[in-house]
Amino acid sequence: MWDAFITFMINILLYIYNLVGQNFGLAIILFTILVRLLMYPLTARQVKSSKAMQDLQKSKKWQDIQKKYKDDKEKLAQKQMEVYQEMGISPFGSCLPLLLQFPIIIGLYQAIIRTLAVTPVQLVNLSKHINDGAQLIPINSQFLWMELSEPERLQIFGIGVPILAILVVITSYIQTKMVSTSAPGDDGGQGAQMSQAMSLYMPFFMGYLALTFASGLALYFIATNLTTIAQYVILGQADFKNLIPNFSSS
Amino acid sequence: MTTIEKETIHMKKYLILILVILTLSITASACSGRRLTASGWPGLNTDQDTAYLAAGQHVYAVNLENGTLRWKYPPEADNDVTFFGAPGLTDDGQLIVTSYNSNIYSLDPDTGNENWSYTEAEERFISGSLVTSQGIFTGSADHNLYALDFQGNQLWPPFETQEQIWALPNTTGDCDCVYLASMDHHLYVINIDDGSLRWQTEDLGGPIVSKPTLSENNTVFVSTFANEILAIDPDEHDVLWRFETKDWAWASPVPDGDQVYASDLSGTFYALNQETGELEWQIQPGGRIVSAPLITEEMIYFGTDEGSFILTSKDGTIQRNQTLEGKLYTSPVHAGDLILVAPTDNESLLIAYGEDGVKRWDFSPSE
């Protein structure tokens, strides 16, 4: 089942690669955008659900319940569930779309890495997934100054600068900050701290991966980050204030 | 904010964190796209008493009598240096090995000491070297064929093709030429004296990654990823016949007697009429076939990526089908009365069988 899914993804990637004049860098970018666009309904649903949850928590009715039953946790939970049902909101409503997106994202990543077959074993493995693309082998993995199967460095005055890794850190930071939401009352608690820590560590972790592994992976990270940012902007959920640490509400 | 509410928010954040870590773990663990990940299969050659095995971070010299290690090169592993091309032996007593770090090394076959290295190539060497009395010839993933003398100096400027070269070049004793197959779909015939192009084929329809082979009557055979085995007349420069396979034809076709034996990635092994290309028989024992068969006087030996080591008679009757742990990507090699098999993903790097198929010894790198 998973293999069939990867085969499907690889063949679409190769189709795009052929369509854009056998430019694998462009194919990665377009393929990532395409997959993200196809996942847009899930993303929109996730965002909508998060927003509804936030609005609910800001509402007078919700605040009144908190005050009224603050000393009776069981009753409070029961009332909260009633409000959830009344408003048609599931407290985990934003998790399901997120869960559905993960296999697609992993599949997208694996399709890119498997297609960048540069050694005999990798090519033997890739051949299992290619239906009708032998003519496209070997994949042209040169893109701009990059060899997509290798870690990227741009030589500037004799120094190898990891441009892509830097872009991955920047776009990951922007993406994490812009799309992070905070709930009312979540003011410096464990969740907020974790969120804060994640928004700092994740970009560097992604940057480390981009620095160390094939630059095709870094290109995919950047395309993913930029597409996600664009989707949140379109949905009106991007919070530019969060980019500046002092104004961060989390 | 209530405890339940906070717990809900925290649970969602934990869930997101776990999913992100899980995703990154899965993706990072699958980062096989890293350039220096060694993912070839062992290259094997022998002289009278030693097997030379290029297998990852070392080249091993193994005593053919009992499977013990004579030496390994380099003594200490280097993550940036891996060897997979079949080592070549020169008449003046050098062992030539190629590396994924784009270098060619000359070693002393008795001690494993390095004589010289050639470091001018820009990309990895997938195959080993063709060694003739005139020099050392090696194709690189940087699209070039390199020709060296026995001191490691260039004989002539690199011969450039349009794509990567993974195939071992070949020659015949009397042509004074090198047959070179490239992933650019062409077979080139190059003058061995000066590296000039003598002639080249038309586009053969697909990438070629294995050695072109030659029959006694001077027909050239190639396998292509366009699911074809081709016979080419090197005098008239014509394609004599084409045989359609079920999948990519990776392994070199091997001419023997009136037949040529070929295979493809569907795992089908074919015996074709050498003159006409007509199918005489085929078997499909299970698993994909990427290596050329070993043909002895009586029998045919080949392996599959499901670990099947097949011994068949020349009429296609399977005499023995032995399953080994791992994958058999490397062609079996005949050494005296032994058949040597170098499996991939097996604890043993080298296994020696008698011609009857009975195991004599095996070699593990820890020895």
The predicted structure's pLDDT at residue B20: 60
List C-alpha distances in Å: B259 to B216, B221, B228, B234: 12, 12, 16, 19
Chain A's closest residue to B11, CA to CA, is A191
Please answer yes or no on whether B290 and A124 come within 8 Å at the CB atom. Answer: yes
pLDDT-based confidence at A7, cuts 50/70/90? very high
Distance from the A135 Cα atom to the nearest Cα atom in chain B, whole angstroms: 6
Q: Which of B220, B229, B213, B223 is nearest to B295 (CA)?
A: B213
Helices and strands (H and E) in chain A: how many: 10, 4
Candidates B12, B84, B125, B127, partner chain A, best to mutate (most A CBs within 10 A): B12
Q: What are the structure tokens assigned to B316, written together?
A: 């296609």
CA–CA gap between residue B321 and residue B49 (Å, rounded): 28
pLDDT (tens digit per residue) in B183-194: 999 999 999 999
pLDDT at B353: 94
Range scoring the smallest mean pLDDT among A32-46, A181-195, A200-214: A181-195
**CA-CA distance, B332 to B353, in Å (whole number)?**
10
Mean pLDDT of chain B: 91
Q: How confident is the model at residue A36 (pLDDT cuts 50, 70, 90)?
A: confident
Rounded to an integer, the average pLDDT of A174-201 is: 64
Alpha helices in chain B (DSSP H): 3-29
Q: How far away is chain A from the Cα of B271, in angstroms, using its nearest Cα?
A: 23
Question: Can you read off the two tokens belonging to residue B282?
Answer: 């085929």
Please state the ipTM of this predicted complex.
Answer: 0.88
Q: Do the chains contact at B2 and A66, CB–CB below 8 Å?
A: yes
Tell me which chain A residues have a C-beta less than 8 angstroms from the C-beta of B289.
none
Nearest-angstrom CA–CA distance, A69 and A119: 65
Answer whether residue A15 shows pLDDT above 90: yes
Please state whether beta strands B58-63 and B50-55 pair in parallel, antiparallel, or not at all (unpaired).
Answer: antiparallel
Confidence of residue A99 (pLDDT cuts 50, 70, 90): confident
For residue A205, give the amino acid letter: F
Percentage, residues of chain A above pLDDT 90: 29
Nearest chain A residue to B6 by CA distance is: A186
Estimate to the nearest angstrom the gap between the alpha carbon of B364 and the chain centroid: 21
Pairing verdict, β B228-233 and B220-224: antiparallel
What residues 265-304 of chain B have any CB closer than 8 A to a CB of chain A?
265, 288, 290
Is the pLDDT reported for residue B18 higher than 60? no
> CA–CA separation, A232 vs A242, rounded Å?
13
B79 vs A: CB within 8 A: no
Dist. CA B261–CA B202, nearest whole Å = 24
Per-residue pLDDT at B36: 39
With CB atoms and an 8 Å threshold, state whether A98 touches B19: yes
- Distance to chain B for A120, nearest Cα, Å: 6
Provide the pLDDT for residue A249.
Answer: 45
Please name the member of B1, B26, B163 whose beta carbon is closest to the beta carbon of A186: B1
Average pLDDT over residues A130-136: 84
Does A94 sit within 8 Å of B12, measured CB to CB? yes
H helix count then E strand count, chain B: 1, 31
What are the tokens at A42?
A: 């899930």
- pLDDT tens profile B176-226: 999 999 999 999 999 999 999 999 999 999 999 999 999 998 999 999 999
pLDDT of residue B13: 56
Amino acid identity, position B348: S
Taking an 8 Å cut-off on Cβ atoms, the answer to whether B30 and A149 are in contact is no
Give the per-residue pLDDT at B139. 98
The C-alpha of B34 sits at a distance from chain A's nearest C-alpha, in angstroms, of 5
